[in-house]
Each structure stands twice: as structure tokens, then as C-alpha cells.
Amino acid sequence: MRRVTTSKESPATRRTVLCGAALAALGLTTAGCGGDSGKDTSGSAPDEPVELGDAEAVPVGGAKLYAEQKVLVAQPEKGDFKGFSAICTHQGSLLGEIDGEVAVCPLHGSRFHVDSGKVAQGPATEALPAVPVKVEQGKLVAG
């Protein structure tokens, strides 16, 4: 007959070890998302009106990313400008590029429609906040 003993500590199973390793890796990945990794900590839109440059720089049917001002501007139709925060709603990273009709976050790959700010692909679940954009004397002004 086999003797069964109970103790407060049981040996780690393979599943426990693998789960612990996965959680540790996740913790390291999440820790890598802060600091100087692209995470923005100073807000998602200009606090006051800021000039972006010539309105002609934004292509009709396309968009332009103004990284320094943290603004994404689209021009779906001639003279119709739409502005959005260029800060990803997933973990606050600055969007990195425009790929056709979507703006892409380099941190985790979230994609946003440039003409509406809506999520095209996660992990982000919230649309980019709108930023007012107007044209003054041929120049775009955001905020």
C-alpha cells in the first residue's frame, strides 16, 4: 500500500513552472513599456493652439503625422481636415507611421483609421481622441 503524506508545500508541476515563466515574461514586457520606450506622459493633445505647417502637406485622401505636436491630421476630401491625438490609447505610445489608411503604433501594433481615429486593429480598444484642426492663412492650426 502506498503511503500518502500531506504537507503545506507540494512540488511544482510543469504547468506551474510554465505559468510562472509566462507571467514573469509578461511582467518584463510590461515593465519595458514605460520610461523612455515611447510612452507619452505629457498629455494627448496640444494644450493651446499650435501651428503644424502648410495645409498642402497633408495629402487629399491621406494623412500626416506631426510627432512633435502629437497630432495626426487627415484630409479625406479637399479642404476637409480632421485631427486626432497621435498617442495610442492602448499604453500611451506615440504613433509611429501611417500605412495607407491606418496609423500604426510601434509598441504593440495597434492600428487606427486616419479619417476617423477608430480602432482598425487592437490591442487598443478606444478610438483616438479628436483634436480640432483649422486652416489659417494656408497653415494648419491644431488645438
% of residues, the chain, pLDDT over 70: 67
Is the pLDDT at 14 greater than 90? The verdict is: no
> Is 114 in contact with 70 (CB distance < 8 Å)?
no
Residue 18 has pLDDT above 50, yes or no: no
Kindly indicate the confidence band of residue 48, based on its pLDDT and cuts at 50, 70 and 90: confident
Regarding beta strands 130-131 and 133-136, do their DSSP bridges make them parallel or antiparallel, or are they unpaired? unpaired
> DSSP characters for 71-113?
EEEEEEETTEEEEEE-B-TTT-BBP-EEETTEEE-TTT--EEE
Question: Using the 8-state DSSP alphabet, how is residue 33 labeled?
Answer: T
Q: 69-100 burial, b for 16+ CB within 10 Å, e for fewer?
A: bbbbbbbeeeeebbbbbbbbbbbbbbbbebee
Q: What is the pLDDT of residue 111?
A: 93
Q: Tens digits of per-residue pLDDT, 82-129? A: 999 999 999 888 899 999 999 999 989 899 999 999 999 989 999 999
Is residue 37 very low, low, confident or very high in pLDDT (cuts 50, 70, 90)? very low
Residue 15 sits at the vertex; the CA angle it makes with 13 and 16, to the nearest 5 degrees, is 65
CA distance 35 to 24: 19
What does the pLDDT average to over 46-66? 90
Higher pLDDT among residues 51 and 24, named by residue: 51
Q: For residue 91, which amino acid is it? A: Q
Contact 142, 131 (CB under 8 A): yes
Among residues 115, 120, 127, the alpha carbon closest in space to that of 58 is found at 115
Determine which helix (DSSP H) or strand (DSSP E) holds 54, and give its type and residue range.
Answer: strand 50-54
| pLDDT value at residue 122 | 87
pLDDT at 143: 84
